[in-house]
């Protein structure tokens, strides 16, 4: 509290006490007046003393507080003064460094000007020397023209021709070396991927035929199958579309048809009729219809099981049915479903080796021949039919393109399409996987030899190893070693563009030089 306020309070208290004394004096009389005055005086004296003490204490507190503030202010001033001194020192150092750098820059500038003058002198001397050299060169060219009898232009053209020939030989050699190295590296990597894929797949194939044999208990059953005046066998052939051959083969009836599904329906239906014993036209129609429905359902289950084996999902039901339908289709004697599964595995393995999407690769490999399951009334290449079918049922664009382009009917848009094509060739080219008619086989070999012989400088051609290799013998006078390497590439390119064949064909160019002498 402020000392002045305390003094005011004390004075107010004194007045109150004085008033009280006056009141008491007026009440109690003059007897107590003296005592009250004495008390009042004592109170006033005490109050004055207390006020002085309080004033002295407050002054001391104010002095202490002022001293503390003064010390803090002095410290702060000293810190700022020291900071300013440091900054002044730094600025002095920077200024000194700047002056040194400026002096260095000026020195370098003087050096550059001196060098520039020297360069101008050198440039002038070089120009003079260049003019002197040009004059001497012209004199030498005139002398050379007189000596050689050729003009400068003719000599220049001759030199250019020699350099072009030499550059062509060098470039051909370099191209050969680069191609050989690339072939070696690519062949090694491709062989590793393909061998791993084939080894991991190792699928078995059965060669399909056009006939099925149904075993019967005895030859008496043949008469019941034929029926009275042949009505049973006619009804059976009419319902199934399969030819029934009942001959002298003991305890066997042969079913013949190029349609494997019809033949399977006929086989199962005939076995059921034989087991049941009731063989007549009405029963035949009933059993055949029931077996056909069961096999249709079996096709769907087969398609679903195939997708489960390959780990594929979310495929349209109609495509699943077509996959199951592959079980009753063949391609060059190779079961279409087994072939497609093998292609799916091979494509998936190669895609995994190359870091591509394995699910799309398997899907494309499985569906690549789905066009072969279309009804024969729909015309067109099976690759394009499969392309339309996959596109219609919302397959992935990469899968659709791979299906349509695996025989190059359309352009390939993704590396997976090339993997499907390679896997298809691997599956079809394995020994025993497919059959080929003798006439088409011979014709293919003849075309291969004729194509290789169409090149200039080729003397003889031989197709060997069942058309897997063609050996080309060239005339050594017309074809040198470098041109022979180029000829092999050209023949291989022409075979790729103009022929259709499974697997790959090796082109071997042979250049042989024979020198003959006789001892007499």
Span 465-482, pLDDT tens digits: 667 788 898 888 888 877
> Is residue 29 pLDDT above 60, yes or no?
no
Average pLDDT of every residue of the chain: 79
- Angle of the 152-201 helix axis to the 415-429 helix axis, nearest 10: 70
Task: Give dist(CA 365, CA 388) in Å, integer.
Answer: 16
> Is residue 418 pLDDT above 80, yes or no?
yes
pTM, two decimals, is 0.47
Would you place residue 171 in the very low, low, confident or very high pLDDT band (cuts 50, 70, 90)?
confident
Q: Which of 6, 99, 8, 87 is nearest to 54 (CA)?
A: 6
393, 316 Cβ separation under 8 angstroms: yes
Task: Give dist(CA 293, CA 283) in Å, integer.
Answer: 16
> Is residue 33 pLDDT above 60, yes or no?
no
Listed range (16-20, 46-50, 324-328, 361-365) with the worst mean pLDDT? 16-20
First-last CA distance in the chain: 152
> Is residue 487 pLDDT above 70, yes or no?
yes
201, 342 Cβ separation under 8 angstroms: yes
Q: Can you spell out the DSSP letters for 117-137?
A: HHHHHHHHHHHHHHHHHHHHH
For residue 20, what is the DSSP state?
H
Strands (E) located in 270-400: 330-331, 334-335
Query: Which pLDDT does position 326 carry in this prediction?
Result: 83
Query: Which pLDDT does position 206 carry in this prediction?
Result: 45
What is the average per-residue pLDDT within 198-227? 65
425, 502 Cβ separation under 8 angstroms: yes
Would you place residue 204 in the very low, low, confident or very high pLDDT band (cuts 50, 70, 90)?
very low
Query: Which pLDDT does position 336 carry in this prediction?
Result: 81
Query: Which pLDDT does position 216 carry in this prediction?
Result: 79
Half-sphere exposure in the Cβ direction for 402 (13 Å, CA): 29
Q: Can you spell out the DSSP letters for 124-174?
A: HHHHHHHHHHHHHHHHHHHHHHHHH---HHHHHHHHHHHHHHHHHHHHHHH
The residue that leads in pLDDT, 146 or 88, is 88
What is the average per-residue pLDDT within 425-454? 70
Query: Which pLDDT does position 207 carry in this prediction?
Result: 43
Distances (CA, A) of 338 to 200, 264, 344, 381, 432: 15, 17, 10, 21, 14
> Is residue 159 pLDDT above 50, yes or no?
yes
Query: Which pLDDT does position 151 carry in this prediction?
Result: 66
> Is residue 175 pLDDT above 70, yes or no?
yes
Phi/psi for 259 (5° steps) reads: -90, 110
Would you place residue 253 in the very low, low, confident or very high pLDDT band (cuts 50, 70, 90)?
confident
% of the chain beyond a pLDDT of 70: 82
Distances (CA, A) of 156 to 138, 143, 152, 167, 243: 14, 16, 6, 16, 84
């Amino acid at each position: 509290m402020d000392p002045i306020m305390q003094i005011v309070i004390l004075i107010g208290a004194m007045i109150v006490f004085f008033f009280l004394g006056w009141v008491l004096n007026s009440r109690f009389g003059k007897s107590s007046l003296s005592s009250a005055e004495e008390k009042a005086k004592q109170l006033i004296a005490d109050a004055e003393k207390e006020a002085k003490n309080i004033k002295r204490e407050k002054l001391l507190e104010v002095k202490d507080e002022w001293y503390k503030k003064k010390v803090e202010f002095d410290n702060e001033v000293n810190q700022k003064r020291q900071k300013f001194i440091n900054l002044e020192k730094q600025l002095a150092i920077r200024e000194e460094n700047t002056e040194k750098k400026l002096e260095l820059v000026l020195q370098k500038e003087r050096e550059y000007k001196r060098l520039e003058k020297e360069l101008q002198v050198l440039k002038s001397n070089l120009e003079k020397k260049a003019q002197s050299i040009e004059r001497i060169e012209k004199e030498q060219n005139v002398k050379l023209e007189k000596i050689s009898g050729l003009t400068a232009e003719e000599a220049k053209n001759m030199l250019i021709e020699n350099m072009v020939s030499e550059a062509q030989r060098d470039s051909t050699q370099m191209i050969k070396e680069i191609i050989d190295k690339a072939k070696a590296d690519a062949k090694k990597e491709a062989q590793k991927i393909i061998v791993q894929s084939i080894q991991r797949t190792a699928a078995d194939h059965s060669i399909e035929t056009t006939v099925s044999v149904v075993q019967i208990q005895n030859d008496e059953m043949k008469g019941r199958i034929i029926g009275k005046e042949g009505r049973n066998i006619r009804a059976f052939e009419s319902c199934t579309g399969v030819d029934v051959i009942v001959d002298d083969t003991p305890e066997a009836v042969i079913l013949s048809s190029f349609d494997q599904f019809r033949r399977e329906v006929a086989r199962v239906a005939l076995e059921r009729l034989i087991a049941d014993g009731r063989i007549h036209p009405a029963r035949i129609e009933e059993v055949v219809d029931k077996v056909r429905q069961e096999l249709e359902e079996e096709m769907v289950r087969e398609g679903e099981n195939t997708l489960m084996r390959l780990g594929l999902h979310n495929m349209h039901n109609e495509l699943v049915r077509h996959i199951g339908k592959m079980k009753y289709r063949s391609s060059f004697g190779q079961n279409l479903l087994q072939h497609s599964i093998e292609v799916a595995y091979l494509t998936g393995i190669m895609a995994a080796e190359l870091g591509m999407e394995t699910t799309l690769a398997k899907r494309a490999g499985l569906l690549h021949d789905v066009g072969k399951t279309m009804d024969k009334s729909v015309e067109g290449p099976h690759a394009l039919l499969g392309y339309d079918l996959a596109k219609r049922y919302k397959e992935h664009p990469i899968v659709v393109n791979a299906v349509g382009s695996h025989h190059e009917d359309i352009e390939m848009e993704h590396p997976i399409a090339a993997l499907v094509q390679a896997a298809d060739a691997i599956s079809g080219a394995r020994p025993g996987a497919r059959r080929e008619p003798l006439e088409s086989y011979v014709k293919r070999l003849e075309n291969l030899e004729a194509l290789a012989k169409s090149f200039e400088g080729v003397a003889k051609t031989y197709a060997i190893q069942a058309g897997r290799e063609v050996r080309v013998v060239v005339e050594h006078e017309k074809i040198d070693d470098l041109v022979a390497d180029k000829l092999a590439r050209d023949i291989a390119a022409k075979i790729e563009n103009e022929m259709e064949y499974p697997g790959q064909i090796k082109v071997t160019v042979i250049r042989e030089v024979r020198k003959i002498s006789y001892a007499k």
